Structure 1
Amino acid sequence: MMEENQSMSNINNPDEITLKELILKLKDYALELAKNWYIILLFILPIAGYMVYKAKTTDTIFPAKLTFMLSQDDGGLGKIGGLLGSFGLGGSGKNNYEKMVEIAKSRQIIYNSIFNNVEINGKTDYLANHLINLEKLHDKLWEKDTSGLKSFYFTNSDIQKFSKLESKAFIHLHKYLTGSGEKAGIYNCSFSKTSESLTMSISTVSEPLSIELLKTIFYNLSDFYVETSIGRDRFTYDIIKRKSDSIYNLLNAKDYAASKIQDAKRNLFEESEKNSTKKLNRDVNMLGVIYGETAKNAELADFSLKSKTPLIRELDLPMAPLDAKSESAFMALIKGCLIGGILASFFIILRKIIREAMAA
């Protein structure tokens, strides 16, 4: 009775494969793969060879990382936010960290950084030229260029005097560093909400280039952010301080003039000289009151300036030796064998299925 039910089940489901048939089919495929081992080898050899060659010829990368913290009163946000708005970067909902990240990738910061003269491998040059040379950008970015970039190096650091070719090269370097569209750059800046710290990172083929470039970007970013945050307050303080110093100098001059007249005449004054002395003394008293007020205002302005100055403190600076990253030739060989084996197996099994279907 059970055999009849099984027979009826097979009749009702002619396409159903039993476990036994599945095992036999897999065994058949395994035998087919073993029989065509040379095809698998033909797939593996070129793929594995290419991947090993690529691993051997790929430059070693030196990633550098820098971590820092930012502390700033909310009173300083308006000014930096206004500047970001002029760059098209501002937004009412962004905090200090988000603004710092955007500024860190701006052309202004990159420009201020890559045109510093730094000695690397015994050669002093702009960081921009070190980047072009060590990263082999003539071949990587400008191999097919016909405008002059194929052998280009910067000789001028004044962006106001850049030629069209120099501006083009700078734009390419900025994109190479910070990324463009979906293509990531070699430099990045991010922040952690949990630790409230910011991290800058860069990866180049040169250890000193990674360290010097990252530190230079950080110090330029720090100076720019602080100066922009307190720029208006510093301007106000400078005006009040100059006014206070001017009044102080005038007060000293008047006081000195009155004392000189008194000493010269030994307290024997004519009427006109007495009037001059009285006028000088009145001026001294009046200037003393004015100076007291301006000095107090200068102290208040100085206190406001210091209280609004952001505190940017580095936590971890990059230092040699960096952990170099290079692709292992052995791992590349393993990957090549796996990829080649999978592709070859797919080809052999698909060919067998097609042959069986054509023969049926």
Structure 2
Amino acid sequence: MGAILGLGYSFYKKPVYNATCTFVLEESGKGGGIGQYAGLASLAGISIGGGGGGGIFEGDNIIELYKSRIMIEKTLLRTLTIKGKNISLIERYIADKHLRKRWKKEHIDSVSFNSSPETFTRLQDSIITDLVTAFNKRNLNVSKPDKKLNIIKVEFLDEDELFAKEFTLGLVENVNNFYIQTKTKKAYQDVLILQKQADSVKNVLNLSISGVAAATDASPNANPTLLSLKVPSQKKQIDVQANSSIYGEIVKNLEISKISLRQEMPLIQVIDKPILPLDKNYIGKIKAIILGGLIGFFLAILILSVNKLFMSSAATNK
């Protein structure tokens, strides 16, 4: 009987697919050729080699980032194209797990996740929170196989093979993009500020050059004995020299800031990514029969022992 039940269970139980992605985070080197510019850059208010915001990713913090609600939610709202139809990962998960049938009893089966997360209702946020909790407990596993290395392993288990693959790839992409943006945020802002200053000073410099030409054209054949006629042109030339000097320094600092941005940019190299068909965990028919038979055998012994003990107790009472 136990063997039959075990065989039936092997047919009923769906295989669980394992989507695994491993990658290495290589921090950018500090110092080197950029060190000689650090003093000059500091005069312009630029921090080189130390302001990347990487502290939040030290230790196991990046692992917790993978388990965070914002990253899982963003991944669930990712859209796929399957057989010519667009569908979000969360909608595919809901359909695969037949959640709307359960929600029908509570009259919430019409809930949709096609709108922006900023407009989600309390019910929508509650459903996503439940999914995040369930994923972190049963489906998602993020770890560092070797504490000495910067290799991170992301695993996701699910009965839907395509969902497991796409969710893993989407989660890794979202977290890594967030990592790069945070790591380079300050250096990128420095580049934008200096670029804006350079463009502004360049416009002023162009106007000053045009002013020199206009002042010269105003007195093309000036009397050399009348020095006052040269004053407007000389003033414009001073403006050109001053603006040229300022523009040169800003451009120099801009290039240093760009070097800093490149220095802060981390290298993220994917080692392995999930490829169909995924590895799957399932109970084979022979294994199920053996396990079912063993469980049935021990249950039979237990029942017989309890029955014998009960009959002995009843006979003693008589």
| Fold match by TM threshold 0.5 | yes
SS at match of 2:155: strand
Question: 2:219 touches 2:229 (CA, 8 Å); kept in 1?
Answer: no
| Matching residue of 2:44 | none
Amino acid at match of 1:316: D
Q: Scaled by the length of structure 1, what TM-score is found?
A: 0.72
| Matching residue of 2:33 | none
Pick one of 170, 175, 179 that aligns with 1:225: 179
What is the number of residues matched between the two proteins?
293
Q: Scaled by the length of structure 2, what TM-score is found?
A: 0.80
Distance, in Å, in 1 between the alignment partners of 2:51 and 2:218 is 61
Question: 1:97 touches 1:191 (CA, 8 Å); kept in 2?
Answer: no
Deviation at 1:335, TM superposition (A): 0.8
Q: How does 1:254-293 map to 2 (within 5 A)?
A: 254-259=208-213, 262=216, 264=217, 267-269=220-222, 274-293=230-249
| Matching residue of 2:165 | 211
Identity %, equivalent residues: 25
Structure 1: which 5+ runs fail to align?
1-44, 85-94, 179-183
Question: 2:19 touches 2:157 (CA, 8 Å); kept in 1?
Answer: yes
Pick one of 315, 318, 324 that aligns with 2:274: 318
Q: How does 1:168-179 map to 2 (within 5 A)?
A: 168-178=126-136
2:53 equivalent to 1:116: no
Distance, in Å, in 2 between the alignment partners of 1:121 and 1:338 is 45
Q: How does 1:1-360 map to 2 (within 5 A)?
A: 45=1, 47-72=2-27, 79-81=53-55, 96-138=58-100, 142=102, 146=106, 148=108, 150-156=109-115, 158-178=116-136, 184-192=137-145, 193-259=147-213, 262=216, 264=217, 267-269=220-222, 274-352=230-308
Q: 1:261 to 1:57 in 2, by over 3 A?
A: farther
Distance, in Å, in 2 between the alignment partners of 1:77 and 1:299 is 17
Q: 1:349 to 1:323 in 2, by over 3 A?
A: same
Question: 2:201 touches 2:247 (CA, 8 Å); kept in 1?
Answer: yes
Amino acid at match of 1:170: I
The structure number with the bigger radius of gyration is: 1
Question: 1:76 touches 1:230 (CA, 8 Å); kept in 2?
Answer: no
Question: 1:110 touches 1:174 (CA, 8 Å); kept in 2?
Answer: yes
Amino acid at match of 2:119: K
Distance, in Å, in 1 between the alignment partners of 2:97 and 2:268 is 31
Q: 1:60 to 1:80 in 2, by over 3 A?
A: same
Q: 1:276 to 1:133 in 2, by over 3 A?
A: farther
Distance, in Å, in 2 between the alignment partners of 1:99 and 1:76 is 19
Q: 1:78 to 1:240 in 2, by over 3 A?
A: closer
Amino acid at match of 2:122: K
Deviation at 1:319, TM superposition (A): 1.5
Structure 2: which 5+ runs fail to align?
31-48
- The higher relative CO (CA closer than 8 Å, separation ≥ 6) is in 2
Distance, in Å, in 2 between the alignment partners of 1:190 and 1:256 is 63
Deviation string 1:135-185 (CA, Å, 9 cap, x unpaired) is 33345xx4586251x4533121x222111111112112222322xxxxx23
| Matching residue of 2:39 | none
Amino acid at match of 2:11: K
Deviation at 1:122, TM superposition (A): 4.1
CA RMSD across the alignment: 2.8
Question: 2:222 touches 2:229 (CA, 8 Å); kept in 1?
Answer: yes
SS at match of 1:324: strand
Question: 2:52 touches 2:264 (CA, 8 Å); kept in 1?
Answer: no
